[in-house]
Amino acid sequence: MRIVTNADDFGQDDDTTRATIECFENGSLTSATIMVNMPRAAAAIAYAKSRPDLSFGVHLTYVLGVGNEAPVSDAAKLATLCGPDGLFKPSNRTRIDAILGKLSMAEIARETEAQLGRLRDSGVSISHVDSHGHLHRFAVFQAALREVLPRFNIRRVRSAQNVYLRKLLKSPNYWYGPIWCRQIRGRFTTTTHFYMPTSAWDREWWNPLLDRMPALERGGDTIEVGVHPGYAEAWRIEERTGLASFADAARSRGHTLIGWAKV
């Protein structure tokens, strides 16, 4: 298998930024997506510029997560995405609005272009995009990406999760994942498979995932493993240490780790 290991939230804060850099330096990460308007974005961008051999993209942000996510463009012109405080609306609210058709595609496109432009203008080559909370699974966000990405010569977009180590029968993502995957694959360049332990609430996931690789390879030879390295929170610690174990074991089993730029 050709395995992309990608860290989300690069630049969100000091904890996640330092942990992501550690994972790059120990060889367990090949890629990361940068949150361009967060407190440690400058540090993430500086590191990305120092490592052109690695792959860096934009973690497109349209919702509140840790509580201070704000748009790059003028919030006053993003009425369907932002509240009166100038910050993005909570994630669940935006998801519901996306399903109900209450979001403006033009607003999403405007903010997408602003975030991509900020990273491009900083001198970082953008290899791919994904989104905070996986909002790009929804049709209105995909429409915005189809409009904006060609302006930046970007074609690579994260898929929806389609690899699970357990049957999450109560999870809508588990059931809708194959549909979203087909949509993304039909519109963008992406990996055949995508797995994220956080989304599946998995613990000690690395060896079970590797055991699944022979079966996955019959459906396609590329997989992205998405993680959120950190030092302060237990789940981020497990993803950071688990990623190192996964990368070492993957190489020993004959798999190849690649960056998003090679997808």
Q: Annotate 72-90 with DSSP letters as a single string.
A: SS-GGG-TTTB-TTSSBPB
Homologous superfamily in CATH for domain 2-262: Glycoside hydrolase/deacetylase (3.20.20.370)
Average pLDDT (159-178) is 93
| Single-letter residue type at 220 | G
Q: pLDDT band for position 45 (50/70/90)?
A: very high
Q: Nearest 5°: phi and psi at 92?
A: -65, -35
Inter-helix orientation angle 234-252/14-25, to 10° = 10
Residues 6 or more apart whose Cβ sits within 8 Å of residue 262: 2, 55
Q: Where are the domains of the chain?
A: 2-262
User: What is the DSSP-derived secondary structure letter of residue 160?
Assistant: -
How far is it, in rounded angstroms, from Cα 112 to Cα 59? 10
pLDDT at res. 151:
98
pLDDT tens sequence across 56-73: 999 999 999 887 899 999
Residue 104 pLDDT exceeds 90: yes
pLDDT at res. 79:
97
pLDDT tens sequence across 20-36: 999 999 999 999 999 99
How far is it, in rounded angstroms, from Cα 130 to Cα 120? 16
Residues 6 or more apart whose Cβ sits within 8 Å of residue 94: 62, 63, 81, 88, 103, 133, 135
pLDDT at res. 235:
95
In 3D space, the residue among 195, 175, 196, 177 whose CA is nearest the CA of residue 185 turns out to be: 177
pLDDT tens sequence across 190-238: 999 999 999 999 999 999 999 999 999 998 999 999 999 999 999 999 9
pLDDT tens sequence across 107-154: 999 999 999 999 999 999 999 999 999 999 999 999 999 999 999 999
- pTM to 2 decimals? 0.96
Q: What stretches of 122-171 show up as alpha helix (H) in DSSP?
A: 139-148
pLDDT at res. 219:
87
| CA 45 to the chain's CA centroid | 16
Q: DSSP 3-state assignment of 162? A: coil
